A = this chain, B = another copy of it.
Amino acid sequence: MRRYHHDMQQILINGHWADSSASADGFQGIDPSSGETRDPVFPCSNWKDLDSMAEAAMAASLHPANAEPDRIGRFLELFADRLDGMRADIALVAHEETGLPLETRLAQIEFGRMLGQLREAAKAARDVSATSWRAPLIDEASGIRSDLGPLGGAVLTIGPNNFPLAFHAVSGGDFAAAIAAGNPVIAKGHPLHPETGSMLARCAAEAVAEAGLHPATVQYFHQCEPEDGLRLVADPRIAAVGFTGSREAGLSIKAAADASGTPCFLEMSSVNPVFILPSALAERGDQIGGGWAASLLMGTGQFCTKPGIAIVVGDGADAFVEAAKSSLREAAPGVLFSAAGVDRLASGIDAVEAAGAVLRCGGASVSPGSRFEPTLLEVDGDDFLKSFEELSQELFGPVGLVVRAGDLDEASRIALRFDGQLTATMYTGGDDDTDWNALEPILRVKCGRLIENKMPTGVAVVPSMVHGGPFPATGHPGFTAVGLPTSVHRFAMARCWDGVASGRLPAWLR
C-alpha cells in the first residue's frame, strides 16, 4: 500500500505542479531557533520524477522560443517582479526555516541581491552586442563566425543551506546564469529550507508561463536519494551542473559528472586565510582583531567567505587576540541551520583541539534549537604546520582560529600549504611592502579574490567580482559564480559557424 502524506507538497514537472511518483514518506523542515518541526511535508523524489524532468528539459532546450534573447530576458524580469511582490511572505518563511535575521539580512540584503542578480541576468540575456558574454566574432574573409550559446540540455542546479534566496537553486546566481545562457534548469531544493524553495519555484513557474517560454524551462524538486541525484548528474540530458555546498557532497557530484564528461561547476569549501603582516599588527592589531571577529559572526559564521583562519605574523599578536576574544565573548550565541550542523561543528572543534589548538573562548552548543557560542581557537605556527590537515579544516559556524606565526618565513611556509581558496587576505601597515611582495606570488594563484585591508565576507555583485578559485574551493579556476555577465560563461558552449548561409545564423552573427 502506498504511504503518502495527506498534505504532501508537489513538484514542478514540465510546467505543472504534480504529485511525486515516490511512494516513500517525505520530510519536513525544522525551525532551527526552536528545534520544532514545521508543518508541510515534502516528497523525496525518485528516479521516475527526475527522468521525467530530464525528458521535458530536452524538449525545452530545442524549443524555438527558448532561443529568443528578449523572451529569456522578459522571463527573468517577470520572475524578479513576482518575487518582489511576495517579498514579505518569502522572507518570513526563509527566516523561520533558517534562523537567519529577517531584517535586514533576508528581507532587504539577500532579497535585494537575488532580485538584482535576476535583473542583471535579464540584461545579459538580452545583450547581443560585441561586448556581451556571447562574444560574437565574425571573420568575413573566411566566413567563420563564433559565439557562446546554450549547452543543449538542462543545467542541474543544487544550492547551499546558507543563502536561501540569492544562491537558491531556483532563484540564485547559478540559476540566473544558466537561464541567461539559454538553458532550461532543473533545480533541486534544499531540505533545510524546503518551503522557501517552493515559494520561489511557484513564482518562477508563473513567470515562465507569462513569458511564453517552454513549460519545462524551469523544473523543481525538493529532495532525492543521493544515488538518484548522481544518476541525474551523469545523465546525458544534463548538460552541466552548478553546485554550492559541502566539499563531501561536491566531490561526489564531481566524480559522477567527470565520469560522464559533464561540465560541473562547484563552489565547495574555503577557510579564506587572513594574514596580518607585522606593521599592520603593530599599528592596529586590536582594531583588526575586532573586525575579524565581526566578520566571523556574519551569518553565524556560515558564509563561504568566512575568514576562518587568521595568521598573525611576528610579535604583538596579543592585542589582536584580546580584541577578537572580547568581541566574540560579547556576542550572543548564533543559530545554526541544523542540529546536524551543531554536531559537525562541535566535533570539528574537538578535532582541532586534539591536533594542538587551544580554546580561548566559546566552544559549546546552547539551547534552545541549534545554537552555538562564538568560539576562538589559537595555535602556534609551528604546530599549525605540523598538523596542517587537521587544523586547516573548515569549521562551518561562528568559530575562528588564530595562528601565531613567528616571522614572515613561517607565514610563507603556511601560505604555501593552503590549497585552493575563494579568497586570501593580507592586512598591511606602513612597512609591510616587502612582506606583501613575498607572500603575494604564493597567495595570488591560490585564490580567486586577493584582498588587502578588508575582510572577505562581503561579495559585491559587480562584473569584476571573482567568486571562484582553484580546486578544491571550486571545480575549475577559470570561472566565477558571482558577477554578471561573467558568471554566464560557465553554462555556455563555444559555437562556430563555418560557411553557413547568413539567413541561418543567429541575428548577432549576420
User: Which residues in A have some Cβ–Cβ distance to B below 8 Å?
Assistant: 61-62, 137-139, 141-142, 144-146, 148-153, 236, 239, 254-255, 258, 260-263, 419-420, 423, 428, 436, 440-442, 444-446, 448-454, 456, 460, 462-466, 468, 470-472, 475-480, 483, 486, 489-490, 492-501, 504
Contacts and interface: CB of A to CB of B under 8 A. Distances in A.
Nearest to A148: B478
Contacts of A138: 464
B504 A137 contact: no
A251 to B, nearest CB: 9
A476 B452 CA distance: 34
Given A468-B494, A493-B445, A496-B465, A452 B152 contact: no
Given A454-B498, A494-B448, A501-B452, A144 B261 contact: no
A444 to B, nearest CB: 7
10 contacts: A142-B460, A142-B464, A150-B445, A263-B476, A263-B478, A428-B501, A450-B496, A450-B497, A450-B500, A456-B498
Contacts of A468: 494
A316 to B, nearest CB: 22
Nearest to A422: B496
Contacts of A462: 139, 141-142, 144
A132 to B, nearest CB: 13
Chain copies in the assembly?
2
A496 B466 contact: yes
B454 A499 contact: yes
B493 A478 contact: yes
Contacts of A428: 501
A225 to B, nearest CB: 24
B450 A495 contact: yes
B444 A504 contact: no
Given A152-B446, A454-B498, A261 B471 contact: yes
Contacts of A449: 496-498
Given A148-B478, A464-B137, A478-B148, A445 B496 contact: no
B494 A480 contact: yes
Given A145-B464, A466-B494, 10 more contacts: A144-B460, A146-B465, A146-B480, A262-B471, A440-B504, A449-B496, A449-B498, A450-B495, A452-B500, A456-B498
